[in-house]
Amino acid sequence: MIFQFGTITNPFKSINPTSPLATTTGTSGEGLVILGNSLLKFIIVMAGLYAFWNFIAAGYGFMSAGDDAKAVGKAFAKFTQSLLGLTFVAGSFVLAAIFGYLIFGDATAIISPVIYGPTP
C-alpha cells in the first residue's frame, strides 16, 4: 500500500539558491519577532473589524430604538465603548512611538524591532 503512488521526488532539491524561498540569512530569534509582529497586526485588524461591527450594530440600534429611551441609551453605550476601544488601540501605537523615540531615538523601534546579530 505504501508503494501505491510510485516514487515521489523531493520538491526542495530544485529550489534555486537565488530564489526568495532560499533566503535563510537571518539571525537567531528573528522568526520570533516576525511571529510576534504578525500576531500583533492580526489582533489589531480583528479589533478594528470588531469595532466596525459594533458601529454598525449601534447604528442599527439607534434606528430601531424609536421612542424607547433605554434602547437609545444601550445603542449610545455600544457606540461610545467602540470608540473608546479604537482610541485605546490607536493610542497604544502613539505611546509606543513616543517611548521608542524617547528611549531609542527612533519612533519605530518598539513597533518594528530589529535583532542584530553576527553577519554570515
3-state secondary structure the chain: CCCCCCCCCCHHHHCCCCCHHHCCCCCCCHHHHHHHHHHHHHHHHHHHHHHHHHHHHHHHHHHHHCCCHHHHHHHHHHHHHHHHHHHHHHHHHHHHHHHHHHHHCCCCCCCCCCCCCCCC
Q: What is the pLDDT of residues 10-41, one digit of tens each?
A: 666 565 666 665 555 555 566 777 788 888 88
Q: What's the pLDDT score for residue 35?
A: 82
Low-confidence residues in the chain, pLDDT < 50: none
Q: Do the Cβ atoms of 100 and 66 come closer than 8 Å?
A: no
Q: What's the pLDDT score for residue 1?
A: 52
Q: What's the pLDDT score for residue 63?
A: 92
Greatest alpha-carbon pair distance for the chain in Å reads: 74
Q: What's the pLDDT score for residue 109?
A: 85
Q: Do the Cβ atoms of 115 and 29 come closer than 8 Å?
A: yes
Q: Do the Cβ atoms of 72 and 65 come closer than 8 Å?
A: yes
Would the pTM of this model clear 0.75, i.e. be above it? no
